[in-house]
Chains A and B, each alone.
Chain A
Amino acid sequence: MEVVVQITFGVIAVFILVAAAMVVSVRNVIHAALWLIACFFGVGALYMLLEAEFLAVVQVLIYVGAVSVLILFAIMLTRQITGEGVRQLTNRWPVVLAIATLLFATVLAPTLINQQWNVPPAPPLGTPEPIAGPAELGRGFVNEFLIQFQVVGVLLTVALIGAIVIAYEERARRRKVLTLAEELELKRLREQTSPTVPAPVEAEPVVQESRSASER
């Protein structure tokens, strides 16, 4: 059984690494997003291997089911970023490669090799289970990790506010939407009055940008 677990872990780990490498190396952004999803699935599988089913399912639910869908959605709504013809690397990539290899060889690899890996023995009977299931997790949230839980709430509120601030144009600044009939009518009227100067119809900026003085 131990061997099976080891092999499974190896397969999943290689899969995650390959997927992650593909995310940054494929040119097509949608394909990159798909590899990212594959990578998330791999992480979920790792959780499963650790017998943390709750985390595994939540990983799929949140990262695959929500985050990646939003990423795909954003890519689809953005025109012309399919990424074909975009250079993946700058001219200086050999330098970066050299530095990365050097750091890996001198810092990371020796550390990991020399580390005394101390596999914890099986816990004696009666020790409390580490937090894994939904019920214990919920209890942890309202007892030990109450402050952190509350801070997460504030943080998410802030993120929500931020998203609105970035995305939402106040109505006063929005471009007016005309129906087709109105546009035609407008065009006709404009041709009557000034056939040479087609000015765009935009809502007038209501207040001067307070920094307008500093804009060059």
Chain B
Amino acid sequence: MDWLTILIIVIQCFVITLAVTTAFAYLTLFERRILARLQNRVGPNRAGPAGLLQPAADAVKLFFKEDIVPAMADKPVYLLAPAVAVIPALIIWAVIPFGCLNLNWDYQACYDPARTNLWNILQITDLNIGVLYVLAVTSIGVYGITLAGWASNNKYSMLGGIRSSAQLISYELALGCAVLSVVMTYGTLSTHEIVTQQQGGLWGIIPQLLGFVLYMIAATAEVVRAPFDLVEAEQELTGGYNTEYGSMKFALFFMAEYIKLIAVSALAVTFFFGGWHFPGLDILGREVTALAGPVAGSIVFGIVSLGAFLLKVVVFLFISVWVRASWPRLRYDRLMDLGWKWLLPVGLLNLVYTTVVIILIPDRVVHSWVLFGLGAITIAIAIGFNRTPKPIDNVTLVKDIQLPN
């Protein structure tokens, strides 16, 4: 490992961190504008043209706000919590392939599952256990929220913290099931290979329709977005776990949440929507290589693949904002019900489907569509279950009360 490789890795990390934090800043603006549109309002439009400087203004405000630590807070943990929250959100980006810009100047190497002659600078590292890494990092994301809730020494924060740990544990299982079924479909734990195997339009959503639906629900709950944002339900918990946090510490929590949102959207694209694939991408690479040589071909290929990836991510972000504007928050027991009694069993069922179908039908196209059909039927049945609310039989009605004599 010579110094150039290390330097490039360091630069990659810097660029991605900066890009992600900038993306976070503008995601807040994006969300506020779209929410405003959806609610028939105007939204922030005063700072700069069309409100484009609003994130900068917010940042300045948060930087100069007074930094308060509650007197009875557990200080080390209180200060540690924002960092613990933001670190997993940032390191998860290490394995996500944004595109494929091969520095060995050969765009075709991007399609090679053996990854020979590939030096992709649009992915920091291609671990052969990348998916597990993603799951592991998501699973430690809960600590920031939980510890913040506990360390603030505030009942609202505490409730938020407890809610978050329960919710994240519950939905982690469904998330794991959904991701594992993708892993089983492609037979690899490397994110790059998952993307390469989706070449040719047979994107992950076709064999894993059910997995995709599960993933979206579980991932939304994992990043505590509406309609699963009970952790910071304003009406019940004032601010939730970050009630006692102000200035940049608050901003770090906010940042962690939004970066995680972008990350799960990027992962959804990677797993289910072909990653950086785009119809006609290989034709483009071939033609440009023929026209202007392999260097230009690789660069164009890389930039277009990056663009395709970002476009898909933006679509997912829009959907997330749309969902937030449309759906009310779940009640807490319904949230637990959904996680444990619906998502987890369906997730396990999906694992069974995937195993059985892939073993029985070796042909990829056929088994993808069979799985698609099975998934669609299962979703239809699951939605079709009309859940009439049961009378809760451990509640005694007034008329039934028998007085102790």
Contact in complex: A69, B165 (CB < 8 Å): yes
User: Measured between alpha carbons, how far is A31 from B77 in the docked complex, in Å?
Assistant: 8
Contact in complex: A69, B142 (CB < 8 Å): yes
Contact in complex: B169, A174 (CB < 8 Å): no
- Closest-CB distance, B310 to chain A (whole angstroms): 28
- Which of these, B77, B165, B168, contacts A76 with CB under 8 Å? B165
Contacts of A60 in B (CB 8 A): 136, 139-140
User: Measured between alpha carbons, how far is A37 from B80 in the docked complex, in Å?
Assistant: 14
Stretch at the interface among B246-254, B267-275, B285-293, B394-402: B394-402
Within 8 A of B (CB), among A174-193: 174, 176-179, 181-182, 185-186, 189-190, 193
**Interface residue ranges, A against B (CB under 8 Å):** 28, 30-31, 34, 37, 53-54, 57-58, 60-61, 64-66, 69-70, 72-73, 76-77, 133-134, 171, 174, 176-179, 181-182, 185-186, 189-190, 193, 199, 201
User: Measured between alpha carbons, how far is A189 from B403 in the docked complex, in Å?
Assistant: 8
User: Measured between alpha carbons, how far is A66 from B150 in the docked complex, in Å?
Assistant: 18
| A-B pairs under 8 A by CB, number | 97
Interface centre among B147, B158, B393, B398 (most CB of A within 10 A): B398
Which residue on B lies nearest to A72, using beta carbons?
Answer: B146
Contacts of B127 in A (CB 8 A): 53
User: Measured between alpha carbons, how far is A171 from B147 in the docked complex, in Å?
Assistant: 34
Contacts of B162 in A (CB 8 A): 73, 76-77
Contacts of A58 in B (CB 8 A): 132, 136
Contact in complex: A133, B133 (CB < 8 Å): no
Indicate whether A30 sits within 8 Å of B398 (C-beta atoms), given known contacts A53-B128, A69-B146, A76-B150: no
Contacts of B397 in A (CB 8 A): 182
Per-position contact with A for B253-267: 1 when CB-CB < 8 Å, else 0?
A: 000000000000000
Indicate whether A177 sits within 8 Å of B395 (C-beta atoms), given known contacts A31-B77, A54-B132: yes
**Binding site of B, secondary structure by majority: helix, strand, loop or mixed?**
helix
Selected A-B contacts with CB under 8 Å, 14 pairs: A53-B128, A53-B129, A57-B129, A58-B136, A60-B139, A64-B139, A66-B139, A73-B165, A76-B162, A177-B394, A177-B395, A178-B396, A189-B403, A190-B403
Contacts of A199 in B (CB 8 A): 404
Per-position contact with A for B230-247: 1 when CB-CB < 8 Å, else 0?
A: 000000000000000000
Contact in complex: B398, A69 (CB < 8 Å): no
- Closest-CB distance, B292 to chain A (whole angstroms): 39
Which residue on A lies nearest to B169, using beta carbons?
Answer: A69
User: Measured between alpha carbons, how far is A77 from B147 in the docked complex, in Å?
Assistant: 13
Indicate whether A65 sits within 8 Å of B395 (C-beta atoms), given known contacts A57-B133, A73-B165: no
User: Measured between alpha carbons, how far is A28 from B74 in the docked complex, in Å?
Assistant: 10
Top 5 nearest A-B pairs (CB, nearest first) are A65-B139, A61-B136, A199-B404, A60-B136, A57-B132
- Which of these, B77, B136, B396, B403, contacts A176 with CB under 8 Å? B396
Contacts of B392 in A (CB 8 A): 177
User: Measured between alpha carbons, how far is A185 from B389 in the docked complex, in Å?
Assistant: 25
